[in-house]
Amino acid sequence: MSSDDDIATTLRALHAPIYELQDLLHLLIPPLKAIGLLPVGSSDHDVKPLHSSINIPHHIPLIQHALIEKVAPTWESALRESGNLQLLVQYFCPIRVHEDVLAVAEVVTLAYSTILSIPLTDFSLYSLQRLSTCYSMVNIYKMIFQRFPKKQEVTWEDYVRNSLSIPTRIANSIAEGGYVPPSLENKTYLQRVCLQCEQLIAYVSTQDVNGMLMIRIPSLS
């Protein structure tokens, strides 16, 4: 069985009704284990591993979409009450993993793209809140340019564009009557972005000249 077969089976199950928490855990855990993002110290609930590796840029956005649109609206509260919410959040804002895991940088940058490509939900706002506080601009810059084997500048520009588009998306959410976490409110968010830009410039100024050229704010038009 190929990784596409594995993921296709997982995706069909995530899109279908899930009736038991244990069944959901058995869907969430194998992909996380396969890419090294199962939180350190977490139980694997004796789930069966996937048969082959995951293509992160191809497969993870598909899983992220399913989790936002199908799983989180029904299961977020139950996962929180059972102490398993991080298994869901881990697909967007991974924590408690080994620092050298390449998948962290890939999943974080893909999460911004996935979340902002569809209407915001309570869970996607929660994930954006976690991302903005757990991973600063300097953290993401380092991960992209120190760990990504290719497409570094494209990935960086996508991240910056997505990050700077959040206030507009938040404003639309407010207009539609949605709740906005305090840390994502326009003034607070932009103040944090400005501070992180200053920190990033300070960091890059200690690097070589070529590194300095990598800081470009892409046009939002």
pLDDT tens, position by position, 10-55: 999 999 999 999 999 999 999 999 999 998 877 766 677 787 789 9
What is the model's pLDDT at position 186? 86
Q: Is 218 inside any structural domain?
A: no
Confirm if 172 and 126 have CB atoms less than 8 A apart: no
Q: Which segment of 184-188, 189-193, 200-204, 213-217 scores lowest on mean pLDDT?
A: 213-217
Q: Is 221 inside any structural domain?
A: no
What is the model's pLDDT at position 69? 97
Could you tell me the residue range of the domain that residue 89 belongs to? Answer: 3-212
Mean of all residue pLDDT scores within the chain: 86
pLDDT surpasses 60 at 215: no
pLDDT surpasses 60 at 83: yes
- Our count of domains for the chain comes to 1
pLDDT tens, position by position, 171-181: 887 766 667 88
pLDDT surpasses 70 at 107: yes
Mean pLDDT, rounded, for 156-179: 84
Half-sphere exposure in the Cβ direction for 30 (13 Å, CA): 21
pTM of the predicted model as reported, rounded to 2 decimal places = 0.88
Q: Which segment of 50-59, 111-120, 166-175 scores lowest on mean pLDDT?
A: 166-175
pLDDT surpasses 60 at 3: no
SS3 for the chain, per residue? CCHHHHHHHHHHHHHCCCCCHHHHHHHHHHHHHHCCCCCCCCCCCCCCCCCCCCCHHHHHHHHHHHHHHHHHHHHHHHHHHCCCHHHHHCCCCCCCCCCCCCHHHHHHHHHHHHHHCCCCCHHHHHHHHHHHHHCCHHHHHHHHHHHCCCCHHHHHHHHHHHHHHHHHHHHHHHHCCCCCCHHHCHHHHHHHHHHHHHHHHHHHCCCCHHHHCCCCCCCCC
Confirm if 73 and 123 have CB atoms less than 8 A apart: yes
Q: Is 14 inside any structural domain?
A: yes
Per-residue confidence at 64, pLDDT binned at 50, 70, 90? very high
Mean pLDDT, rounded, for 107-120: 95
Q: Is 220 inside any structural domain?
A: no
pLDDT surpasses 50 at 221: no
What is the model's pLDDT at position 219? 47
